[in-house]
Amino acid sequence: MVYIRQDKLPKLKEYKYSGVDHSLVSRYVMKPFYSHVVIKCFPMWMAPNLITLSGFGFVVANFLTMLWYTPTLDQDCPPWVYASWAIGLFLYQTFDAVDGSQARRTHQSGPLGELFDHGVDAVNTTLEVLLFSAATNLGQGWKTVLTLFASSLTFYVQTWDEYHTHTLTLGLVSGPVEGILTICFVYAATAVLGGGSFWQRSLLASIGVQNHDFIPDILYSMAWNEWYMVYGGVVLVFNTVSSALNVMKARRARGQRTRVALLGLITFFAAWILIPAYLYLQPVILHQHLVPFIFYAGLINAYSVGRIIISHLTKSRFPRGNVLIYPLIYGVADSLGPRLQDWVGFGWPSALGNDVYQVAFVFMCLGLAIGVHGSFIVDVIWTICDYLDIWCLTIKYPYQPVKENVEKEDADKKGQ
């Protein structure tokens, strides 16, 4: 499959990064830390994409420890495991933020950097869902699925917003800044508090609130992790509505119809109609083999987001549809037949059944997703590097501060 058509390649040279960050934490705390401390730790010969990939390595290490100590997402781990997750995620956030500064000071800014950055973030989103679920002992169930939905929607809508407004907008509270810092705090607190089982206790009871008659029992018994999900839901709604308003405002300013842009959300919600439907029909996957399925569902979103970024960079039509949901359509149809026979007396037999073949089907879907998304990544990186005559993880043409370049930089600074 061709992901970047030849006639769209010249658009890559027109790329210019545009971003707005309204976060006060980012402006007054994180960015000064990155600019005055962290950036000095990286040599000038180090490529920005290599910094991004190195940061992602910490998350992969965290994921491997999760698989070793709590593959079912509901077991308490040694305190050092949670502490390592907090450190690893913070380092990932730091490396991910510094790669832009490194690109600017080495004069390596370009479309490949944005694609690489978003691609790594998309995979990290799925891994962090599993790590967060393990840290708060959500286990294999609907709470973990709901966490994945919220994280995937946040990332998809942010990318959809950037495609239509041509600007990456981060609000007062955003996932890449406050969201990651909050999760780092959760990991660190879990290490101190003795394990993920703490987050299953009642929040109100833990802080000493008496169970008065005017407090509903369902409210009083809500655990810490359930309150966190309520908080995440509020932030999710706020950010989604804000992005939709940004998109509609930008399209109206250009004299374009807003409903055309809103149709771009159908791809996401089509997948998320099938995902809970399949898990409802196959409780064995939901409660016993959720980790590989979560990985597969996360790659569905990562593939969509990657194609949106490519369309943004090449000024192409918004991509609709996702080939990775086709196996899921089959899985739902196959599982629905026996249920219809039980409910209405009419249906069809399942080819996969409810046991080992269903598990094999999930791993087949995961393998397909890794293959398709992996081929997409290799193809677009190879195409962009070949056209722009650059390398991905090393600097092919180091910047030379000759007299003409220095004078141009001085003129640009005076103009600003």
Q: What is the pLDDT of residues 13-67, one digit of tens each?
A: 888 888 888 788 888 888 899 988 999 899 999 999 999 999 999 999 999 999 9
Q: What is the pLDDT of residues 349-395, one digit of tens each?
A: 989 988 899 999 999 999 999 999 999 999 999 999 999 999 999 98
For residue 53, give the nearest of 115, 107, 110 by alpha carbon: 115
- One DSSP character per residue, 27-63 reads IIIIHHHHHHTGGGGS-TTB-HHHHHHHHHHHHHHHH
- For 289, which DSSP code? S
Q: Does residue 304 carry a pLDDT above 70?
A: yes
CA 209, CA 197: separation in Å to the nearest integer? 20
Mean per-residue pLDDT over the chain, rounded: 89
287 labelled catalytic: no
CATH code, 6-411: 1.20.120.1760
Helix H or strand E segment including 228: helix 224-253
For 247-255, the CB contacts below 8 A with 24+ separation are: 247/160, 247/161, 247/164, 247/165, 250/164, 250/165, 250/166, 251/164
Catalytic member of 36, 107, 118, 164: 118
The pLDDT of residue 411 is 57
The pLDDT-based confidence of 266 (bands split at 50, 70, 90) is: very high
The pLDDT of residue 416 is 47
